[in-house]
Structure 1
Amino acid sequence: MSNQRTTSRDEDLLLQDFSRNVTTKSWALFIGNAAVVSAIPLWLFWRIHQMDITSYFIHFIIGTAISTYFLNSAYQNMKFILKHKIAQKREEAINREITKLFTNDKNANKKDKDDRVLTRKNEVADFEATTFSIFYNNAFYLVCLIVLSFFVFKNFSPTVNYLFSVGLSTAIVFLFSTGEK
């Protein structure tokens, strides 16, 4: 019975590493970053495009909320795509690192070493995928927003400019995050 429970727990941990679900820590980090980045257009349209915050309060709240939701989803999609690619690239280096740690330990067996390598590899891949996903999606979103706001929709009214710039920037980032490569 104990062996089945251990196997089931090991299988659950392995499946968790390959699932699209993110940890609570990553989720909070994603939501926080998405909210901050989604609020940046508020300053842009308030100060540069001269939109009054009190007059367009509803537009700003709805645009920021929708943008936050889709940026959060883009972060999660990108993290899922990158995590396994990063894990494969870091596997050899982590294997060498763990082997050095186990050279002096005579009591360690191969299963303990393999478990430690897998755990460390997933930790490194998770951290790197999280940070790169945030960086890439933020940069892509802000470049799209600036290009759309200042070049594509510059002759439209500020309200239309805001709605289309934020909406299309968010949609483009989200759609690019769903790709496989």
Structure 2
Amino acid sequence: MKKLLPVLFLIVGLGAGAGAGVFLGPGEKAEEKAEAKDSEYSEDAAEKKEAKAKPEKSEEETPSGSEYVKFPKQFVIPIVTKDHISALATVSLSLEAVEGSTEAVYSKEPKLRDLFLQVLFDHANMGGFDGAFTRPDNLAPLRKALNDVARNELGDIVKDVLIVDIARQDT
């Protein structure tokens, strides 16, 4: 009897599970609704989906005639003290540029990265990443130098260079 009881519970449990699956599972109506929903998917639905994926820029978010071009990789700057690397600074930059100039910026990206790195290295060598390096009076010369370099390379399509992210990691 002791060996028969677990087998009996197993059979009852399987029967109850199968019954619940049949009773609670999707019936023919649910399948018909799914097919109807698939057939309703039209070009209008595709357009709505694309519109959700690409949020529209409002005039409040972006000044008219501007777009932001983010550099895909961070800039990593070694901070050298007494002939050894004492820290690393990472900086993420974006350009505010005239609308429609993204391709022009990306076509010059290697040159801009080189010029920006030189400015960032100079800033590090002058002690710009020491102490309270995020204070506005410490970042102002860096912003000005980055803007000057970008405008010299790209001309009037650059409106501003934005420091999106800045961090320092001591070694």
* Class of the TM-score when normalised by the shorter of the 2 chains: 0.3 to 0.5
Q: TM-score if structure 1 supplies the norm length?
A: 0.34
The structure with the greater share of residues assigned to helix is 1
